[in-house]
A and B are shown apart, each in its own frame.
Chain A
């Protein structure tokens, strides 16, 4: 187990370093306006001086080394356009908390609901519940969420008679964003759980249990459900971590001052340092989520080991 985790950790670190290098080099290709808040008013000498001061005239590998060194010390640089001169970590700190709160609430809604739906669909396979659930999943997966989020905002706000935008003082305004965040995850959880459960019911030991006359409810509860929940565990750390990054759509739709809206803001203002910091932060969380998911899976399911898999000849 320890060897597996270490191996997995090393791979993730390697991936992360590659991603940081690529992101960093790509963003050096951006026009230099993104490093100044008053580019038009500056003379070329001033610009050059400031670039040298920021270390942007150094060779790329030196800049990259410095960036990683600072990153290890928890320093993501300073914002250049969004909030001039403010350290990025300071800006992020508050925003992460807001996004995290929304994300966790949405997860608290979607995980139980998604599981209930998944179980209901698997138990009534081919019946009405299954068909309705499937229609829901197809809808969520096929329609771009930009579209149905808009309509939820539009008609939801009319229905519960509150402002379309989120206000910290009015708790009702938090309902729609949380609903929007939860809807796709419910579909995701339900789909996976249903699939795992249906797979499980086709296994021989379940047939044997039926043949032995184990009551149906016990089969579902004790055998099918428990075994199908195990692979779901893999999804959970990723989902929790991803709450930090916030939903780009939902947050900017409801103007929630969180992380997701921030990315859109800094892209529109072309704040190079902020974009860089956010992109790298998102990648870190994506990688960390997969890593934790795999390690958790290894803890929960003793069959998993990191020995050379069969088939990879």
Chain B
């Protein structure tokens, strides 16, 4: 039947033409010129004697996951620069309170003896060192004494901003850490223990339907905002996305041949999880963590904005931006908004980009 079909005929003809073409090119290639033959290394044509060692040798590349990740990451100049900025910012935020002269700049020694993190919220009302001198130093524009100026009640914005950066970063890192630990752990349980699958899936379906905004507003409205309650409220929703991802990965990887082999060789489950499963998920876990930090900082700003954030005696980037916002209509005082806003944006953008760059670099598919 098919022999007479038009399609078959045409295909045959095509095939013949193709083969002919291939043969032709092959034939052309084969004719080396005398010069080329001359230049060939005669050693390549010598017969090698049998060697037991050589027969045992296997193909091996010196591929190392973390080294490749590092190399890929270093290739991304922008991300490296951002990482350096993050490290510097964080380092400075930590040591700033303990540097000499912080919070006492432009002031007589003695009023503010103690240095340390609590110093930031002190009010610098007494320029010449006595409480009776009157004249509060409020709304001072940036100057040599107050690098970022002072705010409406005479607090030094420089100290406030670094103190706020500390608060915001603490919240961000705590949320990221809780999210990663809880998310990974529940994800592994969810994927590994089949009996729990139904429970977790239904739980996910319910929780995933609730807008994050609502959870945050409700938690902070009911519990009153403080650093721990903010961390708790933000951690309540974040872990689910990661858990679901881990669960899907576990289901996909669990029964692959290398895990089957591992299990047959008697590897205990915890070792399979730690050695075989976790490394495949590192990139996503790290990405999630890196994105959780700016996310948490952003939510903190949001909550401060709607009046559910930290109180003003715990400086945070959120309430600094929020107090600065009140100055928006006075051009002379806009520095009170711009300084915290710029620091905030730098931090969040850096984390976002570094996180993405790291996730790209940590993905083995990009290691070539």
Cβ of A106 within 8 Å of any chain B Cβ, yes or no, is: no
Q: Is B348's CB under 8 angstroms from A26's CB?
A: no
Which listed segment binds B: A40-48, A68-76, A199-207, A280-288? Answer: A280-288
Cβ of B307 within 8 Å of any chain A Cβ, yes or no, is: yes
Interface string of A279-304 (1 = CB under 8 A from B): 10011001100100000000000000
Cβ of A68 to closest chain B Cβ, rounded Å: 17
The residue in chain A whose Cβ has the minimal distance to the Cβ of B299 is A144
Which listed segment binds A: B9-17, B179-187, B203-211? Answer: B203-211
Which listed segment binds B: A121-129, A147-155, A166-174, A228-236? Answer: A147-155
Q: Give Cα distance in the complex from A290 to B325, angstroms.
A: 35
Q: Is A264's CB under 8 angstroms from B329's CB?
A: no
Please, which residues of chain B bring their CB within 8 A of the CB of A248? Answer: 213, 302, 305-306
Q: Is A23's CB under 8 angstroms from B344's CB?
A: no
Cβ of A139 within 8 Å of any chain B Cβ, yes or no, is: yes
Q: Give Cα distance in the complex from A164 to B298, angstroms.
A: 24
Q: Give Cα distance in the complex from A52 to B210, angstroms.
A: 32
Please, which residues of chain B bring their CB within 8 A of the CB of A23? Answer: 218
Please, how many residues of chain B have a CB less than 8 angstroms from a CB on the other chain? 40
Cβ of A209 within 8 Å of any chain B Cβ, yes or no, is: no
Q: Is A311's CB under 8 angstroms from B328's CB?
A: no
Interface residues of A in 1-27 (CB under 8 A from B): 11-12, 14-15, 18-19, 23, 26-27
Known contacts A15-B206, A311-B251, A313-B194; A146 and B221 CB within 8 A of each other: no
Q: Is A138's CB under 8 angstroms from B213's CB?
A: no
Cβ of B73 to closest chain A Cβ, rounded Å: 17
Please, which residues of chain B bring their CB within 8 A of the CB of A305? Answer: none
Please, which residues of chain B bring their CB within 8 A of the CB of A150? Answer: 321, 325, 328, 337, 341
Cβ of A141 within 8 Å of any chain B Cβ, yes or no, is: yes
The residue in chain A whose Cβ has the minimal distance to the Cβ of B305 is A146
Cβ of B204 to closest chain A Cβ, rounded Å: 11
Cβ of A280 to closest chain B Cβ, rounded Å: 9
Q: Give Cα distance in the complex from A26 to B337, angstroms.
A: 35
Known contacts A248-B213, A249-B305, A283-B214; A153 and B206 CB within 8 A of each other: no
Q: Is B251's CB under 8 angstroms from A313's CB?
A: yes
Cβ of B139 within 8 Å of any chain A Cβ, yes or no, is: no
Which listed residue, B209, B217, B252, B349, touches A290 by the CB 8 Å rule? B209
Please, which residues of chain B bring their CB within 8 A of the CB of A286? Answer: 209-211, 214
Known contacts A282-B214, A312-B201; A287 and B307 CB within 8 A of each other: no
Q: Which of A141, A142, A145: most chain B Cβ within 10 A?
A: A142
Q: Which of B218, B334, B352: most chain A Cβ within 10 A?
A: B218
Please, which residues of chain B bring their CB within 8 A of the CB of A30? Answer: 221-222
Q: Give Cα distance in the complex from A153 to B325, angstroms.
A: 11
Cβ of A34 to closest chain B Cβ, rounded Å: 10
Cβ of A268 within 8 Å of any chain B Cβ, yes or no, is: yes
Cβ of A265 to closest chain B Cβ, rounded Å: 9
The residue in chain A whose Cβ has the minimal distance to the Cβ of B341 is A147
Q: Give Cα distance in the complex from A44 to B328, angstroms.
A: 44
Which listed residue, A154, A164, A279, A290, touches B218 by the CB 8 Å rule? A279
Q: Give Cα distance in the complex from A204 to B197, angstroms.
A: 34
Interface string of A159-181 (1 = CB under 8 A from B): 00000100000000000000000
Interface string of B164-206 (1 = CB under 8 A from A): 0000000000000000000000000000001001000100011
Please, which residues of chain A bring their CB within 8 A of the CB of B205? Answer: 11, 15
Cβ of A103 to closest chain B Cβ, rounded Å: 15
Q: Give Cα distance in the complex from A143 to B295, angstroms.
A: 9
Cβ of B272 within 8 Å of any chain A Cβ, yes or no, is: no
Cβ of B31 to closest chain A Cβ, rounded Å: 33
Q: Give Cα distance in the complex from A303 to B330, angstroms.
A: 58
Q: Give Cα distance in the complex from A313 to B194, angstroms.
A: 7
Q: Is B217's CB under 8 angstroms from A263's CB?
A: yes
Give the A-binding residues of B (Cβ under 8 A): 194, 197, 201, 205-206, 209-211, 213-214, 217-218, 221-222, 248, 251-252, 294, 297-298, 301-302, 305-308, 321, 325, 328-329, 334, 337, 341, 344-345, 348-349, 351-353
Residue contacts A-B, CB under 8 angstroms, 18 given? A15-B206, A18-B206, A23-B218, A27-B222, A138-B352, A143-B345, A143-B348, A146-B298, A146-B321, A150-B328, A252-B305, A263-B306, A267-B306, A282-B213, A283-B211, A286-B210, A287-B209, A311-B252
Give the B-binding residues of A (Cβ under 8 A): 11-12, 14-15, 18-19, 23, 26-27, 29-30, 138-139, 141-147, 150-151, 153-154, 164, 248-249, 252, 263-264, 267-268, 275, 279, 282-283, 286-287, 290, 311-313
4 more A-B residue pairs beyond the given contacts A30-B222, A146-B305, with a C-beta to C-beta distance below 8 A: A23-B218, A142-B349, A142-B352, A311-B251
Closest 8 CB pairs of A and B: A142-B352, A144-B298, A286-B211, A142-B349, A146-B301, A264-B306, A144-B301, A15-B209
